[in-house]
Structure 1
Amino acid sequence: MAAAHSLHRCVVSQSGKQTASVFFLHGSGDTGPGLREWVRDVLKQDLDFPHIRVIYPTAPLRPYTPMRGAPSNVWFDRHKISKDCPEHLESIESMCRSLSGLIEEEVKAGIPKERMIIGGFSMGGAMALHLACRYHADIAGIFALSSFLNKDSVVYQVLKKNQSPVPELFQCHGKPDQLVLYQWGEETNGLLKASGMKTSFQAFPNLQHELSRPELEQLKSWILNKLPPGNE
């Protein structure tokens, strides 16, 4: 298991007093600094706020089955890239523990969990859903960009079993993003909603498996709505 302190992270600090935190998890094969640079390239500036610290962790290098065991920075392993296969729960559980350590560091620094948002791009969005829905349901919100869950994901099972409040999901997807991936993302949103989760789903025409400026601008507005400035 990767220990929490071994997870490297790239941070965009707030310009004023910190009263909230956002964790933004990269997609498979990327890194925290790589995602930050991509966001900055798309927006022509950092995703930054006067009161919110934005944290881009980097997944550990591990053998990745869809790449025939070649090492890659991934949050968890997959038996294959398909919504129909079982989840690789051992690696998902390990990473939930490691990322929970980062969350606890923010709590110790004085940021309550209800002033945190967890989200990500592609695999990072799936990881955020596992982490928040199953272990940190008291955070302010979740976002998932170009992401999907397996059709029998344990996330759905937990939501149906617990029947307790969970964070709202902000989900975006390019259309057509390799149409199959778009359909998986749309199906994920429907299954989460059917499991009792409050969700929104935004489709962006002519967007492939990538980030866009309108998408990130909408995300920034949503974050500010969920984490408004406090008494700084």
Structure 2
Amino acid sequence: MSLIPPVIIPAAVKHTATIFFLHGLGDTGHGWASDLADIKPPHAKLICPTAPEAPVTINMGFEMPSWFDIRSLDKNDGNEDEQGVKNASQDIVKMIDDEIKAGIPADRILLGGFSQGAALSLYTGLTGPHSLAGLVILSGYLPVRKTISWDKINKPPVLQCHGDADTVVHYEVGVGTSKMLQELGKLPNFTFKTYENLQHSSSPREMRDVQNFIKEKLP
């Protein structure tokens, strides 16, 4: 797929780390850039890509920014856009490769996202070629999980956050994903945080937790 040029917030001092953050369905890179710019360390560059416009099955085929097609809201029915997820993941890996070629090592690159962007970030962070500094998964889930070879995954530090009032990616889906990551993935550095009464959005408390995670993983 052809990505629209990303929103880039440069480092304020010497650039020694990079944060990628992927938006949710129908959003753009601008949707998260300003909030994340407020909490990123000064030595980190922030890159917020925008997904290309594509038809989305659950939205009656209307085109909107989408990392891959979503055919159902039931994450257990197996009707997922496997090739779309893999193609989008390869695009994100290429962007990470560009940062590595520019001199930022993989262990100084953090990948995160919200909702569909969180799903793509989690899949890419676990199955991609690089072991990253960390993953930030907000209101997300793990797509095409049945295709994952759990004995071959990367095991980066993960912060997974989910509101218990989420009616889009249900809280139970987030909890199920966290159990899978701990039981099948055996991730040694994994944190799951619940936010009471938070719907499919973010909150100041969640953003403080994200900020602290970034500070810890990209000192």
TM-score, with structure 1 as normaliser: 0.87
Within 5 Å, give how 1:1-232 maps onto structure 2.
Answer: 2-3=1-2, 6-37=3-34, 39=35, 46-86=38-78, 87-150=80-143, 153-154=145-146, 157-159=148-150, 161-162=151-152, 165-178=154-167, 181-195=170-184, 196-198=186-188, 199-228=190-219
Cα distance change, pair 21–154 in 1 and its aligned pair in 2 (3 A) = farther
In the TM superposition, residue 47 of structure 1 has moved relative to its aligned partner by: 3.0
Tell me the percent identity.
33
**Cα shift readout 1:17-74 (whole Å, capped 9, x = no counterpart):** 010111011010000012224x26xxxx723321111111001111111111110111
Cα distance change, pair 20–179 in 1 and its aligned pair in 2 (3 A) = closer
Provide the rounded CA distance (Å) in 2 between the counterparts of 1:80 and 1:172.
Answer: 22
Higher relative contact order (CA 8 A, sep 6+): 1
- Matched letter for residue 138 of structure 2: L
In the TM superposition, residue 99 of structure 1 has moved relative to its aligned partner by: 1.2
Provide the rounded CA distance (Å) in 2 between the counterparts of 1:126 and 1:61.
Answer: 18
Q: How many residue pairs were aligned?
A: 216
In the TM superposition, residue 213 of structure 1 has moved relative to its aligned partner by: 0.9
In the TM superposition, residue 192 of structure 1 has moved relative to its aligned partner by: 0.9
Provide the rounded CA distance (Å) in 2 between the counterparts of 1:190 and 1:7.
Answer: 35
- Matched letter for residue 87 of structure 2: S
What RMSD, in angstroms, separates the aligned Cα atoms of the two structures?
Answer: 1.8
Unaligned runs of 5+ in 2: none
Cα distance change, pair 222–51 in 1 and its aligned pair in 2 (3 A) = same
Cα distance change, pair 180–121 in 1 and its aligned pair in 2 (3 A) = closer
TM-score, with structure 2 as normaliser: 0.92
Provide the rounded CA distance (Å) in 1 between the counterparts of 2:169 and 2:47.
Answer: 30
Provide the rounded CA distance (Å) in 2 between the counterparts of 1:76 and 1:62.
Answer: 8
- Matched letter for residue 89 of structure 2: C
Provide the rounded CA distance (Å) in 2 between the counterparts of 1:142 and 1:48.
Answer: 14
Cα distance change, pair 64–179 in 1 and its aligned pair in 2 (3 A) = closer
- Indicate if the aligned counterparts of 2:23 and 2:29 stay in contact, CA closer than 8 A: yes
